[in-house]
Structures are given as C-alpha cells and as structure tokens.
Amino acid sequence: MNREAKQRQLEELQAQVKQLQAMVAKRNERMTAAYSGASDAKLCEDCKQIRGAIASGKLNREVVNVERGVMALVTSNDHAVVQRIRNMTGQPIAMR
C-alpha cells in the first residue's frame, strides 16, 4: 500500500470515529433528557431507579471520546446501585 492510500485510509477511519462519537453524544443527550425528566420518555422500573440514583448523586454517567471511539462510564460507590446495574446487564458482582 502506498503512502497516499495509507493516508486516505487513515482519514476514512478518523471520519468514522467522529461519526461514532457524534452518534453516541446524541444518544447520551437523549438519555440525559429521559433521566432528568426533560423528555416524555416512559421509563421501566429499573430505569426509574437509575434516574433516582443519578438524582441523588449515588450514580455518575459520563461519555468520554477516545482516539478510536467512545467510552461510556457508569460509576457508583453505593453497593446497592452497583448490584442493580450488574443485575440489569447480567454481569456478576466483582469481589474485592
């Protein structure tokens, strides 16, 4: 592959990453609106509990752009909130 082809490939990859980041940012805005009550979205019981945890400060959500995409971080120091998230995602509790 020559230098020009590699440069084109790199530019295409960068455009795809930016497109992904924009899509995730838009979805994050919709989720934030739903969790804050600023939209007419109907939430299931689990999501209502997550909304309450966010409102109380027991749960933090953050979206971070990285070089090749996006990372969505959900963190909590509250064991019950962590348990709820793990149950929702089917992930077992990590033991420390």
Q: Is residue 14 part of a domain?
A: yes
- State the pairing for strand pair 60-66/69-75: antiparallel
For residue 96, the model assigns a pLDDT of 47
7 part of a folded domain:
yes
Q: Quick one: pLDDT at residue 94? A: 59
pTM for the model: 0.68
Each residue's pLDDT expressed in tens, for the chain with a length of 96 residues: 799 999 999 999 999 999 999 999 998 888 888 888 788 888 888 888 888 998 899 999 888 999 888 888 888 999 988 888 888 888 766 544
Instruction: Give me the residues paired with residue 75 across strands.
Output: 60
pLDDT of residue 34: 85
Tell me how far apart the 2 most distant CA atoms of the chain are, in Å. Answer: 56
Residue 82 near residue 76 (C-beta atoms within 8 A): yes
Does residue 31 sit within a domain?
yes
The C-alpha atoms of residue 63 and residue 21 are separated, in whole angstroms, by 9
C-alpha to C-alpha distance for 31 and 27, rounded to whole angstroms: 6
Paired tokens of 25 = 């940012």
Q: Based on the structure, what is the number of domains in the chain?
A: 1
Owning domain of residue 23: 3-89
